[in-house]
């Protein structure tokens, strides 16, 4: 199993208010699966993704990625696991503004200690952004930006890709292009988890997990 989450809890406190953002969420995603996480606004989707990525620590429960525990470890160790094993794709792409697309991919490889120009070029091709490899993010269209963000996410050939509303702000043709690329990653053996509001994306996934008030619906 590539991704395992066991009974995740996450509480937020603001003054006297307590929000139970996650209440015992368990899930498992295998290699080759494309799983959509859906749910109304405020149901806990982003909180869940942040915990799965080790960007946030759950208050209870644990996350394992390819068998390695991510939860309750120092941030430096979580960052190491993340760099090697998790491709993160956010709506506002994880690109450094003053670097070209190619340099952004190289940077992600260097942060993992595994620079590899041949793999960089393959990833750029795979994400259909090789023709714009020398452009900076500000010079790209929305669709190109999304593909460049995906190239950065895939820079180190991670076994797991976590995407937060990757297709949310894109026009339909571009969104379905990104979805096709994510589908292709899953078909190539990557475990892919996508948070989405789009019924089309949810329908294209192998499974849909619905969150409601911090719990997965049966």
- Residues forming contacts to ligand ATP in the complex (CB under 6 A) are 12, 14, 19, 21, 39, 41-47
Q: How far is the CB of 20 from ligand ATP (least distance, A)?
A: 8
Nearest to ligand ATP of 42, 199 (CB atom)? 42
Q: How far is the CB of 212 from ligand ATP (least distance, A)?
A: 10
Q: Is 97 exposed, middle or buried (0-12, 13-18, 19+ CB in 10 A)?
A: exposed
Please, which residues have CB within 8 angstroms of residue 125's CB and are 6 or more apart in sequence?
none
Nearest to ligand ATP of 21, 140 (CB atom)? 21
* E-state strands within the chain: 3-14, 17-29, 34-38, 60-65, 68-69, 86-89, 160-164, 191-195, 207-212, 215-216
CA-CA distances (angstroms) from residue 120 to 47, 91, 101, 151?
31, 22, 10, 8
Nearest to ligand ATP of 115, 168 (CB atom)? 168
Nearest to ligand ATP of 112, 198 (CB atom)? 198
Q: How far is the CB of 50 from ligand ATP (least distance, A)?
A: 8
Q: Check if the beta carbon of residue 9 is closer than 8 Å to that of residue 47.
A: no
Q: How far is the CB of 39 from ligand ATP (least distance, A)?
A: 6
Nearest to ligand ATP of 101, 205 (CB atom)? 205
Cα separation, 205 vs 14, whole angstroms: 36
Q: How far is the CB of 110 from ligand ATP (least distance, A)?
A: 31
């Amino acid at each position: 199993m590539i991704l395992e989450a066991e009974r995740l809890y996450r509480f937020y406190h603001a003054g006297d208010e307590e929000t139970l953002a996650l209440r015992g969420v368990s899930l498992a995603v295998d290699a080759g699966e494309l799983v959509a996480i859906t749910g109304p606004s405020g149901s806990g989707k982003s909180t869940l993704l942040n915990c799965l990525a080790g960007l946030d620590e759950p208050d209870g429960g644990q996350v394992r990625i390819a068998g390695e525990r991510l939860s309750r470890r120092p941030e430096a160790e979580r960052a190491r696991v993340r760099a090697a094993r998790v491709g993160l794709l956010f709506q506002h792409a994880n690109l450094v503004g003053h670097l070209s697309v190619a340099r952004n991919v190289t940077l992600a490889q260097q942060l993992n200690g595994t620079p590899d120009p041949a793999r960089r070029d393959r990833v750029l091709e795979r994400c259909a952004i090789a023709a714009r490899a020398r452009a900076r993010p500000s010079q790209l269209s929305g669709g190109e930006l999304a593909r460049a963000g995906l190239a950065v996410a895939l820079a180190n050939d991670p076994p797991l890709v976590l995407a937060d509303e990757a297709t949310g702000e894109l026009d339909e043709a571009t969104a379905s292009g990104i979805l096709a690329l994510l589908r292709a990653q899953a078909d190539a053996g990557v475990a892919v988890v996508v948070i989405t509001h789009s019924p089309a994306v949810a329908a294209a996934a192998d499974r849909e997990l619905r969150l409601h008030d911090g719990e997965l619906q049966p």
